A and B are shown apart, each in its own frame.
Chain A
């Protein structure tokens, strides 16, 4: 196993197949024209991707309160009324503070539990590892819709209903993150930690000073998804929270929909507000995702 490292693989790969010279010549010729086409495609794709978000923003500043019969990017009399209504009808500050606190706590805890478990699966040999890993993955295979009721009954037994802890506890650890980070750790050459072991380094040191920094890209990715998962979580908070002081953003936004009618401009204003924090986290994390490997000096 230790011999199939990144470096050996990658040097081996090109030798396995021989390249045809004819391809090379034509491909370098086409390059600039192709790059133009690529740029055009990327821009076109980006417009398609940005459109719903822009539409959300536009609807949120359109007066009237109903959905237009089709999305339009032109606004006649833009207004911030919807945002004003949003702040009037919900304690937005408190709600956002709750959601932020829960999402940050969840993210930090998941980063910690995921990286530790991933290290165990990637670097510590033990009997039945595959079975244990399969058990971890199994936790993703029963839909939340079915777990909500038994989990709620259990939380009631623990007397944890209607607390911050009840919101965070079920996501302290998640197989998704463990799997993600484990895959990243698996692709770090084992020569590195074996050399460190010979130098007398223990697991804790190898984990924290070598392996973790090399998985920064995955940890940043995980941070984005853990934050997003908690930030958008709806079904569980809905059933477990009953005091308004613990209300989270998705619960608050859901109250904007009425039994018979809905003020869509306010709903869209809420959507915009819920997208922004994740976008910020993503922008921040993106730097680490891309730079993850290049700054560690692994060469």
Chain B
């Protein structure tokens, strides 16, 4: 029987585990004491720490946010802002858990769609605003709840119509203008589409965000007046859904063609195989890098009226924060200071939520696209997303029923009726 050769193994295992236990206890002590205190300011008083959690700086703008933070701390030497940046996909998982554990940061970012959920749950503290006039009124009011300012707009991005000039030239078409309607877009899309060559005329995601906007373009409204019920199983709703769904397969690639997989539409446009593309202004940087791509933008075509989608992010102060005052100060600086406006425009990091359009001048001077003015013009007719407390669930339902209609599993009217019924069950 072999009882030897084993000692070293066991001894090693035991020694290793003892060591790791020791190391563990050491490091847990090391960090437990480290947290909440900050370096004293020059006067000797301890600084007030404001922790701020955000997602929009992730993926390239961490330094810009750091510069805004530095500017704030230079002006407020008694406050130490500690920033934590997380990717958008995981941000809300973490935020909710932190709120549940009552350890959430003093201030945190919320996109407009999720703001209502937090505001209605009593998680946010009211922010005393000293210079309300500095904000663009539409987005400023978006972060009010029950008459209280529970958040301030941080930034916004909007959606415009991107188009490939070469494909328009080839088809002998005029470029899109701000006056275009759905019919103009559809005609151009059909003329450009050349399935054999893998060229498509149009791409517009069949999603909640595109749908609510198209619904407003058609003259309808997603929710009723007091926001208690969906009103999408209407003639306007059908027009909007048909506008999205009926392109699919004729002038727009279907899911079976790969639509919906990561980067599918981006690649198609970059490869010069997409005539028109409904996408956000965050694409400017990436497209500018592509050589030989001849593109520009226009205000999105409307139907009964014009309406452009807006993605707004805001910042809020936690109701459980020990430093509401300092946190509110930081949030106000982050959302309205001159330093922020300059830094944002310089780095093209979304757009600052300011009232004064003249401030956008440096942004508008950059090219491509040549017609950057369309970004500002789009703001004349904004369609804010409908928001309810059960926001995610509502968005998922719309997405699912629209894809049912797009794939032909249901006709448009049935899909909308089902969606409306399901939404009303959820948001009641």
Q: Across the interface, do A152 and B97 meet the contact criterion of CB distance under 8 Å?
A: yes
Tell me the smallest distance from the CB of A217 to a CB of chain B, in Å.
13
- Output the residue of A66, A156, A192 with the most chain B CB within 10 A: A66
Q: Across the interface, do B24 and A262 meet the contact criterion of CB distance under 8 Å?
A: no
Task: Please pick, from A67, A239, A243, the residue contacting B94 in the complex, using a CB distance under 8 A.
Answer: A239
Q: Across the interface, do B17 and A149 meet the contact criterion of CB distance under 8 Å?
A: no
Q: Across the interface, do B93 and A242 meet the contact criterion of CB distance under 8 Å?
A: no
> A120 at interface (Cβ–Cβ under 8 A)?
no
Q: Total A-B pairs in contact (CB under 8 Å)?
A: 148
Task: Please pick, from B16, B89, B267, the residue contacting A108 in the complex, using a CB distance under 8 A.
Answer: B16
> A133 at interface (Cβ–Cβ under 8 A)?
no
Binds A, one of B4-12, B64-72, B361-369: B4-12
**A262 with B263, Cβ < 8 A, contacts A108-B16, A159-B32 known:** yes
Task: Please pick, from A105, A161, A162, A262, the residue contacting B20 in the complex, using a CB distance under 8 A.
Answer: A105
B: interface residue count bin: 35 or more
Q: Across the interface, do B58 and A112 meet the contact criterion of CB distance under 8 Å?
A: no
Task: Please pick, from A66, A108, A212, the residue contacting B17 in the complex, using a CB distance under 8 A.
Answer: A108
Task: Specify which chain A residues have a CB less than 8 angstroms from the CB of B93 in the assembled complex.
Answer: 235, 238-239
Please, how many angstroms separate the alpha-carbon atoms of A298 and B35 in the complex? 55
Question: Which residue from chain A places its CB closest to the CB of B27 in the assembled complex?
Answer: A164
**Chain A 259-299 interface mask (CB, 8 Å, partner B; 1/0):** 11110100000000000000000000000000000011110
Chain A residues numbered 46-69 whose CB sits less than 8 Å from any CB in chain B: 65-69
Question: Which residue from chain A places its CB closest to the CB of B102 in the assembled complex?
Answer: A156
Binds A, one of B79-87, B141-149, B387-395: B79-87
**A163 with B32, Cβ < 8 A, contacts A66-B263, A255-B59, A256-B59 known:** yes
Q: Across the interface, do A213 and B9 meet the contact criterion of CB distance under 8 Å?
A: yes
Chain B residues numbered 1-55 whose CB sits less than 8 Å from any CB in chain A: 1-7, 9-10, 13-14, 16-17, 20-21, 23-25, 27-28, 31-32, 35, 55
Q: Across the interface, do B87 and A258 meet the contact criterion of CB distance under 8 Å?
A: yes
Task: Specify which chain B residues have a CB less than 8 angstroms from the CB of A164 in the assembled complex.
Answer: 24, 27-28, 31
Task: Specify which chain B residues have a CB less than 8 angstroms from the CB of A261 in the assembled complex.
Answer: 59, 266, 282-283, 286
> A165 at interface (Cβ–Cβ under 8 A)?
yes
**Chain A 64-86 interface mask (CB, 8 Å, partner B; 1/0):** 01111100000000000000000
Task: Specify which chain A residues have a CB less than 8 angstroms from the CB of B263 in the assembled complex.
Answer: 66-67, 262, 264
Task: Specify which chain B residues have a CB less than 8 angstroms from the CB of A295 in the assembled complex.
Answer: 5
**Chain B 250-261 interface mask (CB, 8 Å, partner A; 1/0):** 000000001000
Tell me the smallest distance from the CB of A141 to a CB of chain B, in Å.
22
Task: Specify which chain B residues have a CB less than 8 angstroms from the CB of A212 in the assembled complex.
Answer: 6, 9-10, 13
> B219 at interface (Cβ–Cβ under 8 A)?
no
Question: Which residue from chain B places its CB closest to the CB of A150 in the assembled complex?
Answer: B100
> A160 at interface (Cβ–Cβ under 8 A)?
yes
**Chain B 398-425 interface mask (CB, 8 Å, partner A; 1/0):** 0000000000000000000000000000
Q: Across the interface, do B20 and A264 meet the contact criterion of CB distance under 8 Å?
A: no
Task: Please pick, from B31, B56, B264, the residue contacting A259 in the complex, using a CB distance under 8 A.
Answer: B56
Task: Specify which chain B residues have a CB less than 8 angstroms from the CB of A298 in the assembled complex.
Answer: 1-2
Q: Across the interface, do A163 and B20 meet the contact criterion of CB distance under 8 Å?
A: no
Q: Across the interface, do B23 and A208 meet the contact criterion of CB distance under 8 Å?
A: no
Q: Across the interface, do A67 and B262 meet the contact criterion of CB distance under 8 Å?
A: yes
> A40 at interface (Cβ–Cβ under 8 A)?
no
> A130 at interface (Cβ–Cβ under 8 A)?
no
> A148 at interface (Cβ–Cβ under 8 A)?
yes
Q: Across the interface, do B262 and A105 meet the contact criterion of CB distance under 8 Å?
A: no
User: What are the 9 A-B residue pairs with the smallest beta carbon separation, nearest first?
Assistant: A258-B59, A297-B2, A165-B28, A213-B6, A259-B88, A208-B10, A105-B20, A239-B97, A164-B27
- Which residues of B pack against A, CB within 8 Å? 1-7, 9-10, 13-14, 16-17, 20-21, 23-25, 27-28, 31-32, 35, 55-56, 58-60, 84-90, 93-94, 97-98, 100-103, 157, 258, 262-264, 266-268, 270, 280, 282-283, 286
Q: List 21 A–B pairs whose Cβ atoms lie within 8 Å, in order of A's numbering.
A: A66-B263, A67-B263, A69-B258, A69-B267, A105-B24, A108-B13, A160-B32, A163-B31, A164-B28, A166-B28, A192-B1, A209-B6, A209-B7, A212-B13, A213-B6, A258-B60, A259-B55, A260-B157, A261-B282, A261-B283, A297-B2
